[in-house]
Amino acid sequence: MRKNKPTPTVQSLFEPRSIAVIGASASPGKIGHSIMNNIVSGGYRGSVYPVNPKGGDMFGLPVARDINDIEDDIDLVSISVPAPLVLQAVEACARKGVKHIQIITSGFSEIGNTEEEHRIADIARDHGIRVLGPNIFGLFSAAASLNATFSASTIPSGHVAILTQSGALGIAMIGKTGVENIGLSAIVSLGNKCDLDEADLLEYLVAQEQTKVILMYIEGVKDGEELISALNRATRHKPIVVIKSGRSKRGAMAAASHTGSLAGSDAVFDAIMRQCGVLRADSIEEAFNWCKFLAFSPLPSGNNTVIVTNGGGVGVMATDACERFGIELLDDQAALKKIFGPATPSFGSTKNPIDITGGAGAPDYELALSAPVGSEQIDATIALYCETATFDSNNLAAMISDTFTRHRTAGKPISYAVVGGEKVDAAMRKLVVENVPVYADVYDAVSAMGAAYRYRRFQSDRPDQAEMAEIDLARIEAVIDNALAENRTFLLSNEGAQVMEAAGITIPQTRVVKNIDAAVHVADEIGYPVVLKIVSRDILHKSDAGGVALDLDDRTELVDAYEAILHNARQYDPNATIDGVEVAEMIRPGTELIVGARVDQSFGPVVMCGFGGIYVEVMKDVAFRASPLHRNEVLAMLKEIRSFPILMGVRGEKQRDIDTVIDTIIRISTIIERCKKITDIEINPIVVYGQGEGIKALDARILISKINTGGKPS
Ligand code: ACO
């Protein structure tokens, strides 16, 4: 774990007044040459100092033999010397008192050379230097016209900022942004993240006006708790799109060996991104589609969307996609008829999708797509075009450009899908230059609009402050300390039950008695029906020994069963020590959930809930959230479970006690937050009864750690 960080000064990383290049080279083909070339030819406005022991001149600039020969203060140093020379170079930078270093060089933790990387990070930290990398392609910052990368020499300036852990993919993304005409405000290669990571850089990008959307490619998260806070702050202001590799187990292993970082559980990552309002894309294509849309379109201000099409088939495809991406279609037939009637032929349809039919020409589209601009009832439009003989596709680009501008000026988003041949392709290329979000596939156009909707909804329904419950912390800690004193890393079931009680979570009533009168007395107190179980350290499998009697409805049944199980136990093992008989409440059947919490290696405390019982492993119907959390977020987590409708009551069943389930999850979240020696809690099952009837936590398994790890497992 990182020690104290120096105060971040990321602004001077993105907007340095001076830059030195250690490993600058006059030989074309070398990385140190490309970096120098890109800095100089990219129009960087600050001072540039090449450093190379050979001295002389390059790119018309005098070369310093050592960074300490430079008189000027240095904000940023780029290092591209072979790995064995990097440490010395960093030491020289420390003597010089530079602010930031980007280490291009490979050959550190990604190949197991972790020790050297730590030494570099330690020296930098001790001298208040922030380090990017190692194992990176560099940094581009439009704000300083600085291209300190060894990728393309021309990177168009624009509104998307990219943070990428993979260098090669980052370089490829620069190429793709060029083709798609998505200008960049910044692109930063993070590599092994020995110091600076996504969380540090987000702060600058969120404050920087030019950046409208942030795209992150992540392979592994080192300091997840810090990332969560940074993302929570950032998504208040700007949409963030993330691509994370390592969804599969094998992929996660590949990612771990690629960057030497912890890939973590993908399900947890996915849930936490959603919790932070981050839009996770499945592919680079999808991420770019979303960025293009979010950078150039306003967000919808309400939920009413219309689809306008000249083809029924694509209209149906878009309708299906809207359902998938949670886009609501305006369904007020009278209003739709009034708005779109004048633009729709009698054989078309004003039902949403609005079908202006295959005979529609450019003026018909202009008319139909102008209608939403002035309508208070429509918040967003998806416009579809299939190439037909009646619409001269030479006019397509002008029609789209014009209607897009009108929608944007009115503060309304519109996304286009155009399907056709060469002329349609030519129109798309033209529109790409004008930054109009137009897609060659219906699904892509809808998915981009869906991303805008998800971000807007997150903005308006941001979860409130996290909640903590009242728990008896001292009692829980006493139970844990007792178990630790016995060198255990787990709690026994009766200890688990004590923790539940101390946290205010209802468990079945149970007591151990030594004679039949006491059993009768306790059963009267608990209320029938009850269960009897033999208590003997020598009899582990109670049922096999005939030591369990279920569903005892009255005193007579209780007395008979008491004698029977004692008799059975003695027969089973005549030498067994009988410690007593447990009288327990007979648990009524209900809906079984699993609720848990653990300290995740990457993200710290996370909570989990799902449908429980014995099939939990097979069903895998579970949802996760970072802890602590607000009740609304707990409800959102429950709703993510596929079987949630069962909690709401199906086929005339009563709704289950969802409020108590939420309360229980908050209590579990509080335990994992406050008891730093607990690393895992799993209650399976929690039996949930009808509304107002509560829950019973039947079996709590708790793992503990000897060392107080402050939230991370030892
Ligand atoms: N101070 C300054 N310059 C020095 C020093 C020093 N102490 N020592 C040597 N140099 C000079 C060298 O003389 C040379 O300059 P020259 O061309 O004038 O002789 C220059 O620094 C570079 O040194 P070389 O030994 O020529 O090293 P080379 O350029 O072949 O390789 C590099 C260095 C690029 C850093 C290499 O070790 C490396 O790590 N390559 C991989 C980089 C990479 O891929 N990073 C990840 C990017 S992300 C992705 O996946 C694409």
In a domain, 226, yes or no: no
Token pair for 494: 């009766």
- 515 with 425, same domain: the answer is no
Quote the ligand 1 centre to 631 CA distance (angstroms). Answer: 54
SS3 397: helix
pLDDT tens digits along 342-358: 999 999 999 999 999 99
In a domain, 391, yes or no: yes
- Of the residues 551, 586, 621, the one at which a domain ends: 586
Stated pTM of the model: 0.87
Enumerate residues 6+ apart whose C-beta is below 8 A from 607: 595, 596, 597, 624, 625, 627, 629, 637, 665, 668, 669, 672
Q: What is the DSSP string of 289-346?
A: HHHHHHHHSPPPSSS-EEEEES-HHHHHHHHHHHHHTTPPBP--HHHHHHHHGGGS-T
| 81 CB near ligand 1 (under 6 Å) | yes
Token pair for 591: 């809906």
- Of the residues 563, 586, 609, the one at which a domain ends: 586
| 50 CB near ligand 1 (under 6 Å) | no
| Residue type at position 334 | A
CATH number at residue 305: 3.40.50.261
SS3 694: coil
Q: Among 22, 27, 31, which is best to mutate for testing ligand 1, by the most ligand atoms less than 8 A from CB?
A: 31
- 529 with 446, same domain: the answer is no
Quote the ligand 1 centre to 92 CA distance (angstroms). Answer: 16
- 514 with 433, same domain: the answer is no
In a domain, 227, yes or no: no
Distance CA 142, CA 159 (A): 9
Q: Are 65 and 52 in contact (CB under 8 A)?
A: yes
Quote the ligand 1 centre to 255 CA distance (angstroms). Answer: 25
So what's the pLDDT on residue 249? 58
- 424 with 333, same domain: the answer is yes
The average confidence (pLDDT) of the chain is 91
pLDDT tens digits along 88-108: 999 999 999 999 999 999 999
- 69 with 132, same domain: the answer is yes
- 457 with 513, same domain: the answer is no
| 106 CB near ligand 1 (under 6 Å) | yes
So what's the pLDDT on residue 244? 85
CATH number at residue 129: 3.40.50.720
Percent of the chain's residues with pLDDT above 70: 95
So what's the pLDDT on residue 215? 97
Enumerate residues 6+ apart whose C-beta is below 8 A from 291: 160, 182, 213, 215, 241
Going by alpha carbons, the residue nearest to atom 21 of ligand 1 is: 23
- 82 with 144, same domain: the answer is yes
In a domain, 127, yes or no: yes
- 11 with 118, same domain: the answer is yes
In a domain, 275, yes or no: no
So what's the pLDDT on residue 255? 46
Q: Which parts of the chain register pLDDT below 70?
A: 1-8, 246-264, 707-714
Quote the ligand 1 centre to 148 CA distance (angstroms). Answer: 14
SS3 380: strand
In a domain, 595, yes or no: no
In a domain, 400, yes or no: yes
- Residue 287's closest CA among 213, 196, 364? 213
Going by alpha carbons, the residue nearest to atom 18 of ligand 1 is: 25
So what's the pLDDT on residue 260? 33
The reply to whether omega before 345 is within 30° of 0 (cis) is no
| 52 CB near ligand 1 (under 6 Å) | yes
Full residue range of the structural domain in which residue 13 is found:
1-153
Number of structural domains (the chain) is 3
In a domain, 467, yes or no: no
| 32 CB near ligand 1 (under 6 Å) | yes
- 307 with 453, same domain: the answer is yes
CATH number at residue 549: 3.30.1490.20
- 425 with 567, same domain: the answer is no
Helix (H), strand (E) at residue 687: strand 678-688
| 23 CB near ligand 1 (under 6 Å) | yes
